[in-house]
Amino acid sequence: MARRPDEPLRGWMGVAGGWTLVGRGNETVANTQQSADGGLCETVHVALAERSYDIFIGAGQLATTAERMRALGTVSHAVVIADEAVAGYARQVQAACQSTMRADLLTVPSGEESKSIARVDQLWQDLLRLGADRKTCLVAVGGGVVGDLVGFVAATFTRGLRFCQIPTTLLSQVDSSVGGKTGVNLPQAKNMVGAFWQPSVVVIDTDTLHSLPEREYLSGMAEVIKYGMILDAELFERLERSVEALRRRDPSVLRSVIARCCELKAQVVAADERETTGLRAVLNYGHTFGHALEAVSGYGAMLHGEAVSIGMVCASRLAESLGRIDAELTQRQVRLLEAVGLPTRLPDLPHEELWRAMQHDKKVEHGRLRFVLPARMGHVELVPDIDASQVMAVLQASH
């Protein structure tokens, strides 16, 4: 994944209503290295001044966690906090750490309910009991739920502890573990309380994906395909050529695909760490329709990535209806999404409710909606002023 010599070293360029990545950013270039046990490991550097950190990606990486934490300096205590469904991986991490430092293990129940202030409170008490201090590093082992929860506990306990992310779902490996958004839900509103708090290191072990249920794996794959659509035509083509390898979770294909997704997200985050320039919005492609689908079908009925898969197809059809793209671009997405096993057709849900749910989404401006829409493969734009009739027409055409 080294930068080609002919590629210009430029970063992000604002274009009419959107953003485009010109060449490769000069600060987040993945490189492949042989790790001590002979396995291949890719490294992505996330450039955020004094909050910069590295992401290590490869098979067998769990065992390297202790050396990654030692490299941070002054870490003498690890508290591993894991989703109970992946306690086995967490014990491997704890054992690896125990060779050189004190290492404790805590578990939390699986599921979105663990992203609550009650759970945060309990973890604060546990950390106090375990004598956590500034030399303690928290280690989050699990999917996005545990990453968001532990990140928030790290941001707040003693006004900030270091933490290491060990994401174990494909979604968390390509999305939630990169970018520093941490937080919990309120009973009425998801992700309503939180903090921007960057991890000190991220360790992605592709072996952990072997135990992931198929639907969860595919849900993450929707976000992977999204990166191709929004930022990287070459990645999209690579995914089209690798369907069979992706379906059998081939470790070397996953390593390089996950590294590329992390690199793309890292570039967006480095340019818009706190969501102030609008660039980070490109990551929401397919999400306005997707969030509405999740809400109207009842949270939990549809996985996030399944809703985003259908949402991307709807957004693409909307771009088509506005004359921004040809039908072929939508068809290419449908073919890839269906080939990997993702849904692309709208389930039978009341269109008015979907429209109402979209208006509750964050991207509302004076009653009209803004959508992230494709302009061509690998490039999206933020399009304002979309009204109900345009959205309804797309919903009609998407069953």
Ligand X SMILES: NC(=O)c1ccc[n+]([C@@H]2O[C@H](COP(=O)([O-])OP(=O)(O)OC[C@H]3O[C@@H](n4cnc5c(N)ncnc54)[C@H](O)[C@@H]3O)[C@@H](O)[C@H]2O)c1
In this chain, which stretch among 52-60, 139-147, 267-275, 386-394 interacts with ligand X, using CB under 6 A? 139-147
Q: Among the options 162, 284, 306, 363, which is catalytic?
A: 284
Q: How far apart are CA 312 and CA 315, in angstroms?
A: 5
Least distance in Å: CB of 173 to ligand X? Answer: 9
291 carries an active-site annotation: yes
Taking CB atoms, the residue at the shortest distance from ligand X is 144
Within 10 A of 109 (CB to CB), how many other CB atoms are there? 11
Q: Which of 18, 25, 39, 144 binds ligand X (CB under 6 A)?
A: 144
Q: Which of 21, 212, 218, 358 binds ligand X (CB under 6 A)?
A: 212
Strand, helix or coil for residue 228: helix
Strand, helix or coil for residue 10: coil
Residue 44 tokens, joined: 């992505």
User: Which residues, in sequence order, are bridge partners of residue 302?
Assistant: 299
Q: Among the options 162, 226, 304, 363, which is catalytic?
A: 304
Can residue 116 be called a binding residue for ligand X (CB under 6 A)? no
280 carries an active-site annotation: yes
Can residue 110 be called a binding residue for ligand X (CB under 6 A)? yes
Q: How far apart are CA 307 and CA 291, in angstroms?
A: 7
Q: Which of 39, 143, 228, 343 binds ligand X (CB under 6 A)?
A: 143
Q: Which of residues 149-208 bind ligand X (CB under 6 A)?
A: 168-169, 171-172, 175-176, 179, 181, 191, 208
DSSP string, 276-310: -SSGGGGGGTTHHHHHHHHHHT-BTTB-HHHHHHH
Q: Are 147 and 140 in contact (CB under 8 A)?
A: yes
Can residue 24 be called a binding residue for ligand X (CB under 6 A)? no
Q: Among the options 24, 68, 181, 260, which is catalytic?
A: 181
366 carries an active-site annotation: no
247 carries an active-site annotation: no
Strand segments, DSSP code E, in the chain are 12-15, 18-21, 31-34, 40-46, 53-58, 77-83, 102-108, 136-142, 162-167, 181-186, 189-196, 201-205, 364-365, 368-376, 379-386
Name the nearest CA neighbour of 282 among 13, 96, 81: 13
Q: What is the CA angle 171-176-181, rounded to 5? A: 165
Can residue 250 be called a binding residue for ligand X (CB under 6 A)? no
Let me know if 134 is exposed, middle or buried by CB neighbors in 10 A (0-12, 13-18, 19+).
middle
With CB under 6 A as the rule, give the number of residues binding ligand X.
Answer: 25
265 carries an active-site annotation: yes
Name the nearest CA neighbour of 389 among 355, 343, 357, 365: 355
Q: Which is closer to ligand X, CB of 115 or CB of 317?
A: 115
51-70 footprint of ligand X as x/- string (CB under 6 A)? --------------------
Q: Which is closer to ligand X, CB of 26 or CB of 110?
A: 110
Q: Among the options 24, 162, 280, 370, which is catalytic?
A: 280
Q: Which is closer to ligand X, CB of 78 or CB of 146?
A: 146
181 carries an active-site annotation: yes
Element (H or E) spanning 144, and its range? helix 144-156
Least distance in Å: CB of 53 to ligand X? Answer: 15
Least distance in Å: CB of 392 to ligand X? Answer: 28
Q: How far apart are CA 386 and CA 377, in angstroms?
A: 22
Name the nearest CA neighbour of 68 among 85, 86, 43: 43
Q: Which is closer to ligand X, CB of 288 or CB of 330?
A: 288
Q: Are 355 and 391 in contact (CB under 8 A)?
A: yes
Q: Among the options 291, 317, 363, 379, which is catalytic?
A: 291
Q: Which of 18, 25, 39, 142 binds ligand X (CB under 6 A)?
A: 142
Q: Which is closer to ligand X, CB of 167 or CB of 395?
A: 167
Q: Among the options 129, 159, 248, 399, which is catalytic?
A: 159
Q: How far apart are CA 137 and CA 159, in angstroms?
A: 13
Q: Which is closer to ligand X, CB of 114 or CB of 398?
A: 114
Q: Which of 42, 148, 232, 263 binds ligand X (CB under 6 A)?
A: 148
Can residue 85 be called a binding residue for ligand X (CB under 6 A)? yes
Q: How far apart are CA 306 and CA 285, in angstroms?
A: 13
Q: Which of 211, 252, 331, 396 binds ligand X (CB under 6 A)?
A: 211
Where in the sequence numbering do the catalytic residues fall?
A: 159, 181, 223, 265, 275, 280, 284, 287, 291, 304
Q: Which residues bind ligand X (CB under 6 A)?
A: 83, 85-86, 110, 112, 115, 142-146, 148, 168-169, 171-172, 175-176, 179, 181, 191, 208, 211-212, 216
